[in-house]
Amino acid sequence: MIQDQFYVLSGENPTIPSAECLAILESLNIPFKAEKYDQVLVLKVEEKAWQLIAERAAMVHRCCILLAKCEAGLDQIVSSVREIDFERYISDIDTFAVRIKRVKNYSPELDSSFLEKEIGYLIHKNVGLKANLKNPDKLFYGVLTESMFIFGISVRESERKKLSLRKAKFRPFFVPSSMNPHLARAMVNLSRARPKRIFYDPFCGAGGILIEAGLMGCKIIGSDIDIKMVKGVEKNLKHFKLKDWNIIMSDAKNLPINRVDSIATDPPYGGSASTKGTATEKLISAFIEEIASISGSIGNVCIGAPLTIDFSEKIKDTGLRIIEKHLIYVHKSLTRQIIVLRM
């Protein structure tokens, strides 16, 4: 059954959270129609989508069934809420609460506490439910974003909080350049990785990206030129009780594989992440030549790199094309780009 849903997204990046959700659906061949707002993604999609996104996404806070969408004005909001058939979604023994989230400083003229009380009154008046602000059976959730009010019933919070338990400091082996697990998982999703399919990270380092792919149910392969990293990532994979994996000591300029289903990787940029004497740009160029030679057997490739590297120039005549580009400001001397390539 097709359903209208919306997702409350993380604000840590302006483009990756919505792209991650859509990539998850693409990887599972689930069709959708999408509307993007600041920190909110509205979808017309199969009913099961929210469960799949909640389990996989790193940059989603909450999944909701959409009940109303209107301009962010008090009269429009009240009118839209009055038209909702709440009895479709709740029983007469349920308790409820209303929460309103304001994204950034949108619609400052609207008092979110007043909206919560007003909508709560309408629900109580129309359906006769009792409010329970601490532990409600049903949570109605509204978001003020851009010039819109988006409202629905919350069906699930994401698994995002659990990702923090996999930060580098909680692993038996880590290095200062280890990627945070939220971005690592998002990159795996952007690669359109699928459970039981082969996923590869050719610059696996301490294994943050591999851990996330493995926990999604992928068959994981990792390689690194540094034997210290190879031994370290093996410790980390065992720590998380992952089983279907293979770690190889190998130079990414000469890939040790000839078939994978998806790749996500974050090549070393120098500094604490050793490039073993090869300049970062040359290392990435050689890697792209390698994946182009076997790309007929690869789905998507998600790569992190400094913004100074021009991928459009490097993929000329390779058959690869850029389908997504996202920017992450790290500090004044480094902006990271996340590029997704496809054959």
pLDDT in tens, 197-219: 999 999 999 999 999 999 999 99
Q: Would you say residue 270 has pLDDT above 70?
A: no
Q: How many residues in total does the chain contain? A: 343
Angle between helices 227-239 and 208-215 (to 10 degrees): 30
Share of the chain above pLDDT 90, in %: 79
101-147 confidence digits (pLDDT tens): 999 999 999 999 999 999 999 998 888 888 898 999 999 999 999 99
State the Cα–Cα distance between residues 200 and 246, nearest whole angstrom. Answer: 10
Report the 10 Å Cβ neighbour count for 43.
25
Q: Are 58 and 180 in contact (CB under 8 A)?
A: no
Structure tokens at 204: 């696996």
Q: Would you say residue 277 has pLDDT above 70?
A: no
Q: Specify the pLDDT at position 273.
A: 46
CATH of the domain spanning 2-157: 3.30.2130.30
Q: Would you say residue 275 has pLDDT above 80?
A: no
Better-scored residue on pLDDT, 34 or 129: 34
Q: Are 58 and 182 in contact (CB under 8 A)?
A: yes
Q: How far is CA 134 from CA 61, 97, 101, 321, in A?
A: 19, 8, 17, 50
List the chain domain ranges.
2-157, 164-342
The fold of 164-342 is Rossmann fold (3.40.50)
**What letter represents residue 47's amino acid?**
E
Q: Would you say residue 171 has pLDDT above 70?
A: yes
Q: Give every CB contact of residue 162 below 8 A, 6+ residues apart in sequence.
A: none
pTM: 0.94
Q: Are 54 and 157 in contact (CB under 8 A)?
A: yes
